[in-house]
Amino acid sequence: MIEFIGKSVYKGIAMGKVLVMGKEEDIVKREKIEDTNAELLRLGNAIKKSQKQLQDLYEKAVKEVGEASAAIFEVHQMMMEDEDYLDAIHNMICNENVNAEFAVATTGDNFSDMFAAMDDDYMKARAADVRDISGRIVRNLLGREQNVMSQPEPVVIVADDLSPSETVQMDKEKILAFVTVHGSTNSHTAILARMMNIPALVGVPVDLGKIRTGMVAIVDGTSAKVIFEPSAQECLTAVNKIKEQEEQAKLLETLKGKENITKSGKKINLYANIGSVSDVGYVLENDAGGIGLFRSEFLYLGRDSFPSEEEQFQAYKQVAQTMANKKVIIRTLDIGADKQADYFGLEKEDNPAMGYRAIRICLKQQDIFKAQLRALFRATAYGKISIMYPMITAVSEVEQIYKIAGEVKRELDEAGIIYQEPEQGIMIETPAAVLISDELAKLVDFFSIGTNDLTQYTLAIDRQNSKLDEFYDPHHPAILKMIQMVVDNAHKEGKWAGICGELGADMELVKTFVQMGVDELSVAPSMILKLRQIIREMD
Ligand code: PEP
Ligand code: MG
């Protein structure tokens, strides 16, 4: 039995087999080999196995997401046959007498750096592909499991760290819990874990070298504890706690279909946050009144090129149609900071949270923004879509957005494409936006307060920095005063104001928010019924 304490991201308990996800660079060691022919044979077998996996993935993806999205696996197969790439690996093995893992990882890094330095955007984007195929071959050489998708049953993921793009690609049905050595409780990976409704711990001081795939683990989000190879008694306690958890969930089920209303008759909207089309199932399952934040940037992550207008349109349309007449607030691209995609070709910045991100990218690279807006406006014809813009700091930004949106609408009119006039609102997540919320309220239809970034910018605390978790205090009086100010300024102009940051799901503050006059709370789907219960018990 090995036990560790970390920081809890989501309460709840799970037990199951571990899948260790390691980064190849942490595992690959340079070793001197005697028999180069045997090494070349090992390499050949690993490449064959990788090709077979890619073919299987291609066939699965064609069935599930269509040929266009599946094409990447074909590209990977072709890249694995590239002569220059293979020659470089062979030469290293034969001339330097190194092990195949080392030769593949080093060649992968060299080719990837070379692609990343090219001017052509298409070639730049290939950098991630070379890293991907090299990683696959290395894992096959090491006999490591490829990924969550290839697991027969749901697993407890144990990793050094997980980026939002890695997390978003995982098959949610196959994950029981997350345990990571690094990572902050305010990161987007943590937010994704909350959305998936699974226990998750970050900052767990575990030596990954000592944990093996296949070990049993109990992850308890309430006590922030993970136990590897638990005793029979510990397993029994965990099974009982899991039963209790299921019973509580059943009790909450009785609140489905009921209003979010206090005993004195005050109502509040409870909406859900989502990151992908497949999350809509959780929204309906938990009886949310609508979607208060669709983080559209997740459609851009975990892939090698921009999603086309058509692909985005289909995603937005599907969400709008599935939600029938319920409101769906889609936030435009909020890429940057921890949400990175190589094909954007964004330069490395010293301070990315305060850098070139979100609406700044959209206003500078208007072709990207316009493609998204066209998709969004087209989708308005299929449901009740509202559009929301992130990271606003100035009135002039909203004016520029409206100008671009106006151009998009004119183009659609000219092409005879129908759309509805959507509600257009903004995220209030910078202190600047709070202080000019009186002026902004005149321009927009609604405000949604992003307390995650608002806390980071107001308290001058990088939300990604796990060392600062204890100082990151969204209950700070400055934040609460700002929320009140934003709500009051919205109401003065007859507009509504909600909260879509993680603070909206803070059970200790629900009462305060209702008293403040907050009109809507948008939270992880699994929190809807818990909040409804608190609201209905309030005087
Ligand atoms: C926020 O900042 O509170 C927010 C909802 O947006 P994100 O967490 O995606 O930055
Ligand atoms: Mg934000």
Residue-wise pLDDT for 351-386, tens only, equals 999 999 999 999 999 999 999 999 999 999 999 999
Ligand 1, from 427, 463, 472, 520: best to mutate by most atoms within 8 Å of Cβ?
427
Residue 396 Cα to ligand 1 middle (Å): 22
* Predicted confidence band of residue 529 (pLDDT cuts 50, 70, 90): very high
Residue range 403-422: average pLDDT? 97
| Residue owning the nearest CA to atom 1 of ligand 1 | 450
Residues less than 5 Å from ion ligand 2, measured at CB: 429, 450, 453
For the ranges 13-27, 199-213, 237-251, the lowest mean pLDDT is seen at 13-27
Residues 293 and 500: beta-carbon distance below 8 Å = yes
Q: Give the pLDDT mean for 32-48.
A: 94
Question: Model confidence at 11, in pLDDT bands (50, 70, 90)?
Answer: confident
Q: Active-site residue among 188, 235, 475, 476?
A: 188
Ligand at minimal distance from the CA of 464 is: 1
Is domain 2-23+148-242 in CATH 3.50.30.10, yes or no?
A: yes
- SS3 breakdown of the chain: % helix, strand, coil, rounded to 5? 55, 15, 30
CB atoms within 10 A of CB 378: 23
User: Within 6 Å (CB) of ligand 1, which residues are found?
Assistant: 191, 293, 295, 334, 429, 450-453, 500-501
Q: Hey, which residues does 328 pair with through a beta bridge?
A: 291, 385
Can you give the residue ranges of every domain in the chain? 2-23+148-242, 36-142, 267-537
Average pLDDT over every residue of 106-132 = 81
Please, what is the end-to-end C-alpha distance for the chain in angstroms? 47
- Looking at 3.40.30.10, 2.10.69.10, 2.40.37.10, 1.10.274.10, the CATH number of the domain 36-142 comes to 1.10.274.10
* Nearest CA among 500, 510, 502, 519 for reference residue 539: 510
Q: How far is the CA of 534 from the centre of ligand 1 (A)?
A: 24
Residue 500 a catalytic site member? yes
- Nearest-Å Rg of the Cα atoms of the chain is 24
Alpha-carbon separation of residue 105 from 33, 55, 93, 112 (angstroms): 16, 22, 12, 10
Residues contacting residue 125 through CB under 8 Å, at least 6 positions apart: 304, 305, 342, 343, 345
Task: Kindly tell me if the per-residue pLDDT of 151 is higher than 70.
Answer: no
How far apart (Å, rounded) are the C-alpha atoms in residues 107 and 434?
50
Examine the residue annotation and report whether 475 is marked as an active-site residue of this protein: no
> What is the pLDDT, as a whole number, of residue 26?
58
Instruction: Report CA 517 to chain centroid distance, whole Å.
Output: 30
Mean pLDDT comparison of 14-23, 158-167, 427-436, highest-scoring range? 427-436
Q: Which segments of 254-394 does DSSP mark as H helices, in order?
A: 280-285, 309-322, 359-364, 366-379
The pLDDT mean for the chain works out to 91
Rounded to the nearest whole angstrom, what is the distance from the C-alpha of residue 521 to the centroid of ligand 1? 13
For ligand 1, what atom is nearest to the CA of residue 390?
A: 6
pTM (predicted TM-score) = 0.78
Most informative mutation of 500, 520, 522, 523 for ligand 1 (most atoms within 8 A of CB): 500
Ligand nearest to the CA of 455: 1
Fold type of domain 267-537:
TIM Barrel (3.20.20)
Q: What is the pLDDT of residues 316-355, one digit of tens each?
A: 999 999 999 899 999 999 998 888 888 898 888 989 999 9
Position with higher pLDDT, 170 vs 182? 182
Rounded to whole angstroms, the Cα distance separating 167 from 502 reads: 18
Asked which of 195-209, 219-233, 284-298, 423-437 is least confident by mean pLDDT, the reply is: 195-209
